[in-house]
Chain A
Amino acid sequence: MDVRWFHEPGPGLGFVDLVLAFDAGAASDPEGREGLTLLTLRLMRCGTARQTRAELDAEVERLGAHLEVGAGLHRASIRGRVIRENLEPFARLMLGLLLEPALREDDFAQAQRLLLAEVTAKRDDDQELAGRAFRRALFGGGRHGRPSSGTVASLQRVTRDDCVRRHRELCAREALVAAVAGDVAEDEARRLLLEPLAVLPERTGATRFDEPPAPPRGVRVVLVDKPERTQAQIYLGHLGPKPGREHHDGLLVSSVAFGGTFSGRLMQEVRVKRGWSYGAYSRLTRSRTDDAWHVWTFPAAKDLGPCLQLVHGMLRDLRRDGVTAEELAFAQGYLVGSSVFLIDTPADRLERRIEVAMLDFPADYYAGLRGRVEAVTLERAHAATGACIHPDDLVVAVVCTARASGDDVRRALGDGAVVDTVAFDDDTL
């Protein structure tokens, strides 16, 4: 298998986007060494044998470019944007990070310390904390619920040798996508970014992508205890079907009707009628495997109990009655009209093609989205919400001051709810 290649032209833009993406992410980090893939990418970003980190940083910026590395659950990437005039030297520089990174010990130590500090700093963000607690509980602490940056403990276990091995695993044509969008013709883009990758071995060992384990039964609550909160952050939900799986399209449309827009049922009930929260949304995550369907809202601490009770009741209604014909038509119109934003720019179009290729979406997932959305009938929408909305098997994560708000949460979700409390600076989050 060869490197997968995509090109999206954008003449006249004056800049070019370049992507090297890998079939590897946090889900494939070894147990106990979560964060390895991201740390490996960060180390690769520290230069080549001929160029120190500081020299590389200066050169990237002198060329009029941005260069970032990142890791998600199922894929990782090196991405850059550069002014058209400096495309060639920038492409060479970017390739060097993959083909001949220095992976120096002192750079490793420095990158590790920075990532550790960033993990700690993320505890300032209550929404981030709620999202992390939700995914961790939803996936039972397993690989699908891991933050890509790992934890303090897991990052401290990672060694430079781990990163060297991980880099070797990434260097395989079958695991790689090369993609270019913007102000460059395809021939030139191929010459600059794709052809030099021919030196890579075809494969170094396939990454496994397991489906997540069955989610916990019953209502499981994680209270993330943080002092002095006047507002709670709530994530609540369960698993939803991945693209291509039965009920995916029905749930996608129903979820938009329920909480995907300002006009949706959730926003109307929580914000417009009651003024309890600035926002209230539901979302089905598109991923390689089944992933989260969740509601996010953030009421004042005084309204936390009633808000949770309301949303929980709305989930029961949604499972029992589904969406109305009017809501369905609205959501279909919204999804069809807004699908243009998925392919608005060359960079957007490129990203969709990369997603389909790397996340194993059906080949026509985006191209056929409009037709599939329009084909969802009320009956299919009801079947989807009946099969996929589980108000009695729910994971709820709430960032709040537990002493002040914990009882409100327990009362709102009933005696059957199992409630665990963790401190906001707990490293397992």
Chain B
Amino acid sequence: MRRIPLGRHTVRLETLDNGLEVLILADPDSPVTAFHTWFKVGSRHERPGKTGLAHLFEHLMFGETENLAHGEFDRRIESVGASMNAATWLDWTYYHETFLPEHLPMMAELEAERMARLTLEEEQVRREKEVVANERRFRVENSVEGAASERLWKEAFRVHPYGHPTIGWMDDILGFTVEDCRTFYRTYYAPNNAALVVVGPVDEGRALDLFRRTHGWMKPQEIPPPPAAVEPPQEEERRQRLPWPTPTRKTCVAWRSPELAHPDHAALVVLAQVLFGGRSGRLQRRLVHDGEIATDLQGGPGSFHDPSLFEIWADLREGRTHEEALAAIDAELARLADAPPEPAELETARNQVLLGFRSALETAAGRADRLGFFHVTVGDVGAIERRQQALLAVSAQDVRAAARRYLVPATRNVLLVDPTEAA
């Protein structure tokens, strides 16, 4: 058992005999309880030809089980007004419910039921593949941001599985068989590949007893390692163009950036605040508010288990060009590489870190989210507090060094979206 501080709370971490990890944050003042089940499997664990399986499987987890007819899982949870959903991303999949505290036993039983006794049949898989195909149409095929992001990551990662989309390529989605899904379930949905997180007005001992009863009987399994794929260094600029029915151009630029646990990650987060933060960030002013080149600007490093991308997305104004946007970006990056940020910029970044950290812990669901995410991505809940300290300790020289090390023009990925004639 470990106890880990988190803001004004303490988190208890226990590992059951079968390897299932349990994180409990008892907060007597919370009017609701948040219950999350995190699995250490995401699209990073998929292979070419089988992309999107982790995400499709997330959908299937809302289906029939040995003891629950189709639709019964959702109906029981929603009948008591609980909010529920799930998400799959590069490194993980998680399922979450938030509800009135008296319903925790029911939620734990329902989650255990689908974790161990899901039934997977042909018709159900066929229907859900169609739903996921529609989700892909929604998020990618009919969304300029989705389509651009997918192409950018595919070009940046030619070897590592981060290069394929979590939702999967359409042909892969439509090609999955029931057996693919059963194999995935048997392989990854094991107690020693999962973590339960509960935040709310719970008694720690009673919650642990509950989880031992609902989940403690499950058998651990051997979990295969993710594909051992190391992306070779990128030594040239990779540039693509994407025609799209959109009224304005979009300029996307991305560089390789380190993993979340890397010591340089914090410096890149502060660097992102200096460039893109609020309205006073250097590039916000230059591109949006003073230069009037873009309508919207976002950017920052990915927060993943493996090295990912530091991205910039600029939604340009009518008549403004990619060349103008790229010149502004290059100029501000060169400035940051030449001279460290001003003390006032660092003070801004630190105060924004504090606001972000405290806001993220506002609700029970928010706290459960932070706990599960850091536990699964970094392997340590204590990293939440340490990360805040690391962010607050980033120096001006750290920011300058990160800009020089990572945001090198010659190794960037560029994707330029241009309005099609019909638009």
Bound together = yes
Determine whether the beta carbon of B99 is less than 8 Å from that of A337.
yes
Docked complex: A318-360 residues within 8 A CB-CB of B:
330, 333-341, 343-345, 347
Determine whether the beta carbon of B292 is less than 8 Å from that of A60.
no
Determine whether the beta carbon of A120 is less than 8 Å from that of B31.
no
Total A-B residue contacts, Cβ distance less than 8 Å: 183
Residues on A with C-beta less than 8 A from B395 are none
Point out the residue from B138, B145, B363, B422 that lies within 8 Å of A231, measured CB to CB.
B138
Residue of B nearest to A84 (CB): B358
A295 to chain B, nearest CB (A): 16
Nearest 3 CB-CB pairings of A with B? A337-B81, A64-B351, A275-B130
Residue of A nearest to B353 (CB): A64
Determine whether the beta carbon of B130 is less than 8 Å from that of A61.
no
How far, in angstroms, from A38 to B279 measured CA to CA in the complex? 18
Determine whether the beta carbon of B348 is less than 8 Å from that of A334.
no
Point out the residue from A62, A334, A345 that lies within 8 Å of B79, measured CB to CB.
A334
How far, in angstroms, from A113 to B318 measured CA to CA in the complex? 11
Point out the residue from B83, B128, B137, B355 that lies within 8 Å of A65, measured CB to CB.
B355
B174 to chain A, nearest CB (A): 12
Asked if A14 is at the interface (CB within 8 A of a chain B CB), the reply is: yes
Point out the residue from B8, B138, B277 that lies within 8 Å of A298, measured CB to CB.
B138
Residue of A nearest to B281 (CB): A61
16 additional contacts (CB under 8 A) given A57-B279, A62-B347, A271-B131: A14-B7, A15-B358, A61-B348, A114-B288, A117-B295, A118-B295, A121-B315, A230-B137, A231-B138, A272-B71, A275-B127, A275-B131, A278-B134, A330-B75, A330-B79, A347-B362
Contact with A along B76-102 (1 / 0, CB 8 A): 001111111000000000000011100
Residues on A with C-beta less than 8 A from B247 are 120-121, 123-124, 425
Residues on B with C-beta less than 8 A from A113 are 292, 317
Contact with A along B340-372 (1 / 0, CB 8 A): 000010011011101100110011000000000
How far, in angstroms, from A54 to B286 measured CA to CA in the complex? 11
B interface residues, Cβ below 8 angstroms from A: 7-8, 31-32, 62, 70-71, 74-75, 78-84, 98-100, 103, 126-131, 133-135, 137-138, 141-145, 245-248, 277-280, 285, 288-290, 292, 295-296, 315, 317-318, 344, 347-348, 350-352, 354-355, 358-359, 362-363, 420, 422-423
Determine whether the beta carbon of A227 is less than 8 Å from that of B420.
yes
How far, in angstroms, from A267 to B352 measured CA to CA in the complex? 40
Contact with B along A75-87 (1 / 0, CB 8 A): 0000001110010
Point out the residue from B81, B295, B359 that lies within 8 Å of A335, measured CB to CB.
B81
Determine whether the beta carbon of A345 is less than 8 Å from that of B362.
yes
Determine whether the beta carbon of B78 is less than 8 Å from that of A15.
no
A352 to chain B, nearest CB (A): 14
Residues on B with C-beta less than 8 A from A335 are 81
Determine whether the beta carbon of A121 is less than 8 Å from that of B248.
yes
